[in-house]
Amino acid sequence: MIKIRFAKQKEIKTIKNIYKKAFWDSRRTKQFHYFLQFINKERIRKKEILIAHFNGRSAGFCSFYYNSPVFSESMFLEDTAVLPEYQKKGIGLAFSKKVFALAKAKKLRRIFSSTWRGNKAAIKLNKKRGSEYCGRIVNGGGEHEDYVFFSKKI
């Protein structure tokens, strides 16, 4: 059984460990350490990080910004990380449903998300939840791969 709820302050270490295990293949990159810094207690206080439990065990997290620094009246879905042993069990879609409900409750109009061009699982999830491709940034700031962006109207 999947349970999604807001993360608690005491779970910061668990969330960072999920991040490290879910994105293990990029641990040696600048991007990995750059994005890891945004998993912090302030974000938990603002209720911008969700945690998933599968049969009582921590299985993943989802982080987002209620107010996108780029777009007004929108949410930016930052990371969805699910531990490998819990992938393909519906956790990504469960996060999506919760995030969409939160955005709707805040009267936001759109949710934006991004991923690496080679992250086929994330691209598939974006399409499955009804998000549409809306652009890309080639070698995003010197990164190793293009960023691709998705948008979903709420």
pLDDT tens-digit map of 51-67:
999 999 999 999 999 87
> Quick check: pTM over 0.85?
yes
pLDDT at residue 68, rounded to an integer: 66
pLDDT at 24 over 80: no
**What's the rounded Cα separation, in Å, for the pair 80 and 123?**
12
pLDDT tens per residue across span 88-134: 999 999 999 999 999 999 999 999 998 888 888 889 999 999 999 99
Return the percentage of the chain with pLDDT > 90, whole number. 60
pLDDT at 141 over 60: no
Q: How would CATH label the architecture of 2-113?
A: 3-Layer(aba) Sandwich (3.40)
Contact 113/131 with Cβ under 8 angstroms? yes
